[in-house]
Amino acid sequence: MLRRVEAFVGEHAAGKSEIAITRALALRQEGLPVALVDLDLVEPTYTLRPLQGRLREEGLDVIAWETKQTLGLGEAGMQLHPQVKGVLLRHSGYVVCDVGYGVYGSEVLALVEGLLDFPRLSVYLVVNTCRPLTRDEEQIVVEAQRFRPLHGLINNTHLGAETTVELVQQGARVVQAAAQRLHLPVVATAALVEVAEQMGKWDVCGNPVWPLKRYMPLAFW
């Protein structure tokens, strides 16, 4: 198989980690070898770190710190895990990167040796239209400028437990409109399993629906 790399970028709390896990597990279920890489250098909470044991059990190769290996967690930003640097050299299958938020956008990808020159790199912007800075087409287009390269958008519109099909579909329309202006595809609409079941395979704009199982409530600290 051809190795591929997918990186999920976006705003603080846009749902990048949740999407990265969902995507990695879906690829794993197709029988592919998958590495899930924690590139969040900002946020000591809600990251892959506390979940890695569980995710390994599901067959993923998780590259992230163990909490007990870290010192001063969150105090001075996160240290880069040494294995992240060389993941492209070592790993033969799919590599899914969870990129933390910050002013640097996708520049963080430069920390993975060779990644920015990697031919089959796809960077996807995760968008929740319930966040004020990405609430409409205009704002999403502005937000997307921060990320280069960028290969697609993911609609992750939700309000936690209050999420409805209507809300997700409304988000899908906004993200679709922004994507058109950016000349980028909408890769998927992500929705909690219960919502996704009601939506079916495709969202209102004809983009695939990724059913999302929430892991992050288990990930705090």
Partner 1 sequence: MDTIFIKEQRAFMTGNEVIAWAALAAGADIMYGYPITPQNEIMHYWTRLAPKYGRGFLQTEDELSAGFATLGGVMAGKKAFCATAGPGNVLMQEPISMAEMMRIPAVWFIQQRGGPSTATVIYSQQETRLTCFGGNGEGLRLVYSTATHQEIFDYTLKAFNHAWRYRFPTFVLGDGYQAKMREALTLYDPQTRGTQLQSTSPMLGVKGKVQHHRNTFNIEEELYETLSKHLAEWQQMAREVVEWSVSGDEEPDLLLVAHGVVSRATMAASKQLREKGYRVGHFRPITLRPFPITALQEIAGKSQQILVVESAHGQLMSLVRDALYGCSCAPVHGLLRPGLGITAEQVIRQAEELLPKRGYSGANHS
- Exactly one of 75, 82, 201, 206 binds partner 1 (CB under 8 A); that residue is 75
Residue range at the interface with partner 1 (CB under 8 A); choices 116-124, 125-133, 177-185, 196-204 = 125-133
Site size toward partner 1 (CB under 8 A) is 25
Order of all β-strands in the sheet with 61-63: 61-63, 34-39, 94-99, 4-10, 121-127, 152-155, 186-192, 209-212
Distance CA 56, CA 114 (A): 25
Instruction: Assess 12 for contact with partner 1 (CB under 8 A).
Output: yes
* Number of residues in the chain: 221
Instruction: Assess 65 for contact with partner 1 (CB under 8 A).
Output: no
- Exactly one of 52, 128, 169, 189 binds partner 1 (CB under 8 A); that residue is 128
Residue range at the interface with partner 1 (CB under 8 A); choices 32-40, 154-162, 179-187, 194-202 = 154-162
- Exactly one of 31, 82, 119, 160 binds partner 1 (CB under 8 A); that residue is 160
CB of 44 or CB of 59, closer to partner 1: 44
CB of 104 or CB of 118, closer to partner 1: 104
Instruction: Assess 68 for contact with partner 1 (CB under 8 A).
Output: no
Pair of tokens at residue 9: 């970028």
How many Cβ atoms from other residues are within 10 Å of residue 142's Cβ? 12
Minimum CB–partner distance for residue 176 and partner 1 (Å): 20
Name the site residues for partner 1 (rule: CB under 8 A). 12-13, 43-46, 72-75, 103, 128, 130-133, 135, 158-162, 216, 220-221
